Amino acid sequence: MFKKALLALPVALALGATANAQKAPEDVLQALIDADPGSVYLTQSEMNIMMMPDSPALWVGMDGEDLFHTARGPNNVSMEACDFGKGPGVIEGAYVEMPRYFEDTGKVMDLETRIVHCMTEVQGFAADDPAVRQRHGSGSDHMKLQTYIAMQSNGMEWNNPLDHPLEKAMRDAGEVMFARRAGMSDFNCYACHGEVGKQVRASRLPATEAKGEWSKAISWPAFRVGHDNVRSSQHRVRGCYYQMRQAGMLAGSDASIALISYWTDMARGQPAVLPDMKR
C-alpha cells in the first residue's frame, strides 16, 4: 500500500497543477496570503496549510480522472463526450466559468447539475441510479468527478459569464437571496460575511469585501477536515442555509445555482484554490 502511495503521489501533485503548471493549490493560497498578510481568515489554520500538499482531495481527484475517461453507463461512453462549456471533453478552465448557460438544456447550470445531465443524457444512467443520486462524500462518483474537473482550473481567475440574459438573471437573483433576511433568527448571508473580522466560536469568517478571502471561501470542492470528506459548493450552500435556520435548500435547484452564480461573480478576477482544505 505504501509503495502504491509513493507511485501515485507525483500523479496527484500533477493533477493539482494541470491548470497552472507552475502552481499547486497551496501556492495559490500563499499568493492570496501574500496579497493580504493581515487576513486572519486566510492564515487561521497553519495545520491545514501544512497538510495541503498531501490533501486527501488529491486522491479523490485521481479517482475522478479514472471515472472521467472511462466508458460507463448504458450508452458506454465516457465524460469526454460531455461539453462543460468549452467543447466536448475540454475541462481546463471550465470550472471557474461556471455557473453558465448551456444551449442544449436551455438552463444555467453549475458543475454538479451539469454532471447529472452528462450522466443521464450522455452516458444513459437512470436518474435514480446510485451513481447519479449519491452526490456527497469522497466515495461518491460525483465528488470524484467534481474534484478532478475543478482541479483543472486551479490558479485560474473566477470568471462566470454574464452574457446571456439567463446568466444575468440568475446572478441577480443570487444577489437578492444573499441579502434576504429570513428564518427564525432573521439571518442573511451578509450576517456572517458582510464585515471583515467576524467569527463563529473559534473560526474566523471570510468577508465578501476582502476579495482574497472570498476567493478561498468559494473554492470548493475542498477537503473538510472536520468532516473527513471532500465537499462541494452545493453541500456548502445547504450547510449555510441550515446554519441560518432557514428552509432547506434543494440540491441542484435554480435557487442554489443563483446563489453560487452571485458568490462566484463577487470573487471575479481572483485565483481559485482547487482543491482547497478547510476546517
Total number of domains constituting the chain: 1
Among 37, 41, 28, 31, smallest CA distance to 207 is for: 41
Average pLDDT of every residue of the chain: 92
Domain range spanning residue 265? 2-278
Q: 187 has which bridge partners? A: 182
Q: What is the DSSP letter of 200?
A: E
Cα 140 to Cα 119: distance, rounded to the nearest angstrom: 13
Q: 20-61, pLDDT tens digit by residue?
A: 446 899 999 999 999 999 999 999 989 999 999 999 999 999
Active-site residue numbers? 240
Q: Is 216 helix (H, G, I), strand (E, B) or coil?
A: helix
Pairing of strands 203-204, 222-224: unpaired
- For residue 178, what are the contacts with CB-CB under 8 A and spacing of at least 6? 188, 189, 190, 259, 262, 263
C-alpha grid cell, residue 55:
490533501
Say whether pLDDT at 16 is over 80.
no
Yes or no: say if 257 and 109 are a contact pair by the CB < 8 Å rule: yes
Share of the chain above pLDDT 70, in %: 92
Cα 270 to Cα 95: distance, rounded to the nearest angstrom: 14
Q: 200-244, pLDDT tens digit by residue?
A: 888 899 999 999 999 999 999 999 999 999 999 999 999 999 999
Q: 63-122, pLDDT tens digit by residue?
A: 999 999 999 999 999 999 999 999 999 999 999 999 999 999 999 999 999 999 999 999
Look up the CATH number of the domain holding residue 256.
1.10.760.10
